Amino acid sequence: MFTIITGAQFGDEGKGKIVDMLASQYDIVARFQGGDNAGHTVVAEGKTYKLHLIPSGVLFDARLLIGPGTVMNPKILMDEISMLADNGVEVTPTKLGIDAKTSIIMPYHIALDSLRESKRSVKIGTTSRGIGFAYVDKVGRDEVQMADLADKSRLLRKIEEIAPHKEAAIEELGGDPGIARSGLDEYLEIGKKLKPYITDVSKEINLALKQGKNVLAEGAQGTHLDIIHGTQKFVTSSSTVAGSACASLGVGPKKVERVIGVIKAYITRVGEGPLPTEQKNEVGEHLREKGGEFGTTTGRPRRCGWFDLPLAGKSVNLNGYTCMALTKLDVLTGLDILKLCTGYELEGKQLDYPPELSDDVARCKPVYIDLPGWHEDITEAGSFPDIPENARLYVELLEELMGVHIAYVSVGPGRKQTFMK
């Protein structure tokens, strides 16, 4: 069975938690896009693990794969491997495989990301991890790949070719051109350590599927941050939708059995860009404080707002979800009235689907319906009938309006705080 999980909003939907919950049923968990701009928090046995690169299934027996469509900062990966080892979780080459073609985030990518962002008149609010510039080099065919890191002469040959262009670009943006050749010794040392982890991800996954094994493709960021279909230019630099898992992991689309969308009971966004239902008031404060809505990667406060059905409907289309996981329902507890955005108003017209252009999305005025809230604590609920009637009505209405079954509901960060609906 091949399952894909993606975020249905702007990232931070709680994918890590859902992957962690499902991982015991899978033989392989694979990351297919993004890099350490992602941050997933897994809470298990009283310990909180904040991961950026290693797939969320790390605490189970599943084999973990980092696919060639990702961009990988080797220093961050080494930090994660040692943090996990300190907590008794050994990430050996039997446990983790990294595709030979995975793009490496070099120090110059990180410098260029920050320098370029500082010069933008309209900021994107990137995570400053060098993600966009690593992808630019992949598309521009100037990337450094995992295999290069493990082969000194290959890496040095490539850098010799690439460095003059990076020096010029960094200098033009007012940075230190020395960065273009910096950090190579450290990267080569890491390359030696990571060499045994190198694998052919597509080959491994296809073989596993032929043997009847279960493979879970774990998305990072969220649908509306997709480089093609998202709210450009306020997006990340990779394709975050489900189809990208097939292309990036090298698996045929006919192999896909389940596509799970993870969606919060409200909406958040970190960084710039349109967010029609944003609440810059006490409701936004409630969601941020109760939901712990601060970025895992950057610590930035997330922008918070009411559930946005037009955006959710677009996610259903873009991903073809077969079911959804609704997360953080408990965060809504204590609000007297819940507003649900069922459409937008733009230039006197009513819309039930987001306009294509970001500028237009930014001008949309949300149209809400009011729903009654609840005050009972739901964090101990173990099944759907355990939650108050108003909470059940909210979930059932979302399900009906999105037209996709909500299979899982999460009511807290812990492993036991998710039930099947």
Distance CA 212, CA 28 (A): 12
Q: Are 130 and 112 in contact (CB under 8 A)?
A: yes
Size, binding site for ligand IMP by CB under 6 A: 21
By three-state DSSP, how is residue 282 classified? helix
Closest to ligand IMP by CB, 128 vs 390, is 128
The residue within the footprint of ligand IMP, chosen from 5, 8, 11, 256 (CB under 6 A), is: 11
| Strand spans (E) along 270-310 | 303-305, 307-308
Q: Tell me how far, at minimum, the Cβ of 133 lies from ligand IMP, in Å.
A: 9
Query: Residue 6 interacts with ligand IMP (CB under 6 A)?
Result: no
Distance CA 30, CA 51 (A): 14
Of 34-42, 279-287, 317-325, 407-415, the segment contacting ligand IMP by CB under 6 A is: 34-42
Q: Tell me how far, at minimum, the Cβ of 232 lies from ligand IMP, in Å.
A: 11
Q: Are 238 and 198 in contact (CB under 8 A)?
A: no
CA 61 → CA 18, 56, 216, 305, distances in Å?
Answer: 16, 12, 13, 37
The CB-nearest residue to ligand IMP is 271
Q: What is the DSSP string of 373-386?
A: ---S--TT--SGGG
Q: Tell me how far, at minimum, the Cβ of 126 lies from ligand IMP, in Å.
A: 4
β-pairing, 103-104 vs 71-72, is parallel
The residue within the footprint of ligand IMP, chosen from 14, 16, 39, 68 (CB under 6 A), is: 39
Distance CA 194, CA 388 (A): 50
Residue of 36, 40, 113, 286 marked catalytic? 40
CA 29 → CA 9, 67, 165, distances in Å?
Answer: 22, 10, 37
Q: Which strand (E) or helix (H) includes residue 368?
A: strand 365-372
Q: Tell me how far, at minimum, the Cβ of 230 lies from ligand IMP, in Å.
A: 9
**Does the annotation count 12 as an active-site position?**
yes
Contact string (CB under 6 A) for ligand IMP, positions 112-141, x = contact: ------------xxxx-x-xx---------
Q: Are 267 and 9 in contact (CB under 8 A)?
A: yes
Q: Tell me how far, at minimum, the Cβ of 350 lies from ligand IMP, in Å.
A: 29
Query: Residue 105 interacts with ligand IMP (CB under 6 A)?
Result: no
Of 16-24, 36-44, 159-167, 338-346, the segment contacting ligand IMP by CB under 6 A is: 36-44
Closest to ligand IMP by CB, 268 vs 279, is 268
According to DSSP, the residues that pair with 49 across neighbouring strands are 42
Query: Residue 270 interacts with ligand IMP (CB under 6 A)?
Result: yes
Q: Tell me how far, at minimum, the Cβ of 61 lies from ligand IMP, in Å.
A: 26
According to DSSP, the residues that pair with 120 across neighbouring strands are none
Contact string (CB under 6 A) for ligand IMP, positions 207-246, x = contact: -------------xx---x--------x-xx---------
**Does the annotation count 40 as an active-site position?**
yes
Distance CA 6, CA 16 (A): 10
Closest to ligand IMP by CB, 129 vs 421, is 129
The residue type of 245 is A
The residue within the footprint of ligand IMP, chosen from 8, 9, 12, 309 (CB under 6 A), is: 12
Query: Residue 271 interacts with ligand IMP (CB under 6 A)?
Result: yes
Closest to ligand IMP by CB, 206 vs 223, is 223
The residue whose two tokens read 């237009």 is 360
Closest to ligand IMP by CB, 167 vs 226, is 226
Distance CA 259, CA 245 (A): 10
Distance CA 86, CA 409 (A): 32
Q: Tell me how far, at minimum, the Cβ of 13 lies from ligand IMP, in Å.
A: 9
Q: If you ran DSSP here, which 8-state letter would residue 407 be given?
A: E
Q: Are 317 and 229 in contact (CB under 8 A)?
A: no
Contacts with ligand IMP, residue ranges (CB under 6 A): 10-12, 37-39, 124-127, 129, 131-132, 220-221, 225, 234, 236-237, 270-271
The catalytic residues are 12, 40
